[in-house]
Protein backbone atom coordinates (compact mmCIF):
# COMPACT_ATOMS: atom_id res chain seq x y z
CA UNK A 1 0.00 0.00 0.00
CA UNK A 2 1.17 3.52 -0.76
CA UNK A 3 2.50 5.62 2.09
CA UNK A 4 0.60 8.82 2.81
CA UNK A 5 2.32 12.12 3.49
CA UNK A 6 -0.28 13.11 6.11
CA UNK A 7 -1.47 9.91 7.78
CA UNK A 8 -4.67 10.35 9.74
CA UNK A 9 -5.75 13.57 8.02
CA UNK A 10 -9.20 13.53 6.47
CA UNK A 11 -10.09 14.42 2.92
CA UNK A 12 -11.84 17.56 4.18
CA UNK A 13 -8.74 18.75 6.04
CA UNK A 14 -6.52 18.11 3.02
CA UNK A 15 -8.95 19.99 0.77
CA UNK A 16 -8.79 22.99 3.14
CA UNK A 17 -4.99 22.87 3.02
CA UNK A 18 -5.11 22.60 -0.78
CA UNK A 19 -7.34 25.69 -0.95
CA UNK A 20 -4.88 27.64 1.22
CA UNK A 21 -1.84 26.52 -0.79
CA UNK A 22 -3.52 27.39 -4.09
CA UNK A 23 -4.28 30.83 -2.65
CA UNK A 24 -0.61 31.22 -1.72
CA UNK A 25 0.45 30.30 -5.24
CA UNK A 26 -2.08 32.63 -6.85
CA UNK A 27 -1.25 35.64 -4.68
CA UNK A 28 2.46 35.02 -4.27
CA UNK A 29 2.13 35.30 -0.49
CA UNK A 30 3.44 32.59 1.80
CA UNK A 31 1.37 31.92 4.90
CA UNK A 32 3.30 31.72 8.14
CA UNK A 33 0.36 30.09 9.92
CA UNK A 34 -1.17 27.16 8.14
CA UNK A 35 -3.91 24.98 9.51
CA UNK A 36 -7.40 23.63 9.31
CA UNK A 37 -9.43 23.05 12.44
CA UNK A 38 -7.45 21.41 15.23
CA UNK A 39 -4.64 20.31 12.94
CA UNK A 40 -1.83 22.30 11.41
CA UNK A 41 0.58 22.04 8.55
CA UNK A 42 3.54 22.78 10.79
CA UNK A 43 5.58 19.64 10.05
CA UNK A 44 5.61 20.33 6.33
CA UNK A 45 5.78 24.10 6.73
CA UNK A 46 8.83 23.79 8.99
CA UNK A 47 10.66 21.89 6.28
CA UNK A 48 10.52 25.06 4.13
CA UNK A 49 8.92 23.37 1.15
CA UNK A 50 7.69 25.58 -1.67
CA UNK A 51 3.93 26.04 -2.03
CA UNK A 52 4.07 24.03 -5.26
CA UNK A 53 5.73 21.08 -3.49
CA UNK A 54 3.24 21.26 -0.60
CA UNK A 55 0.41 21.23 -3.18
CA UNK A 56 1.92 18.10 -4.76
CA UNK A 57 2.12 16.35 -1.37
CA UNK A 58 -1.50 17.22 -0.58
CA UNK A 59 -2.72 16.12 -4.01
CA UNK A 60 -0.87 12.83 -3.65
CA UNK A 61 -2.75 12.06 -0.43
CA UNK A 62 -6.06 13.20 -1.93
CA UNK A 63 -5.44 10.86 -4.85
CA UNK A 64 -4.93 7.96 -2.44
CA UNK A 65 -8.06 8.87 -0.45
CA UNK A 66 -10.38 9.55 -3.40
CA UNK A 67 -9.00 8.50 -6.80
CA UNK A 68 -12.36 9.19 -8.46
CA UNK A 69 -12.40 12.88 -7.54
CA UNK A 70 -8.60 13.27 -7.80
CA UNK A 71 -7.47 10.91 -10.60
CA UNK A 72 -3.70 10.30 -10.51
CA UNK A 73 -3.15 11.25 -14.15
CA UNK A 74 -4.92 14.58 -13.69
CA UNK A 75 -3.39 15.80 -10.45
CA UNK A 76 0.07 14.30 -10.05
CA UNK A 77 2.89 15.85 -12.06
CA UNK A 78 5.37 13.73 -13.95
CA UNK A 79 8.61 13.91 -11.98
CA UNK A 80 10.91 11.66 -13.99
CA UNK A 81 11.50 11.40 -17.68
CA UNK A 82 13.59 8.76 -19.36
CA UNK A 83 16.07 9.86 -21.97
CA UNK A 84 16.79 7.58 -24.89
CA UNK A 85 19.93 7.64 -26.95
CA UNK A 86 19.40 7.38 -30.69
CA UNK A 87 22.17 6.20 -32.98
CA UNK A 88 22.58 7.93 -36.30
**pLDDT, tens digit, 9 for 90 and up, residues 37-58:** 455 555 444 457 888 889 989 9
pLDDT classification of 77: cutoffs 50, 70, 90: low
The CB density around residue 13, as the number of other CB atoms within 10 Å, is 19
Q: How far apart are CA 49 and CA 55, in angstroms?
A: 10
pLDDT at residue number 48: 74
Inform me whether the pLDDT recorded for 64 exceeds 70.
yes
Q: How far apart are CA 51 and CA 42, in angstroms?
A: 13
Inform me whether the pLDDT recorded for 26 exceeds 60.
yes
Q: How far apart are CA 21 and CA 18, in angstroms?
A: 5
pLDDT more than 70, % of the chain = 67
Inform me whether the pLDDT recorded for 29 exceeds 90.
no
Identify which of 45, 44, 47 has the alpha carbon closest to the alpha carbon of residue 30: 45
Amino acid sequence: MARRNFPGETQGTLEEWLKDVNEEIATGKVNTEFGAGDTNFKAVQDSKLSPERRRDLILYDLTLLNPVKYPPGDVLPIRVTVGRMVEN
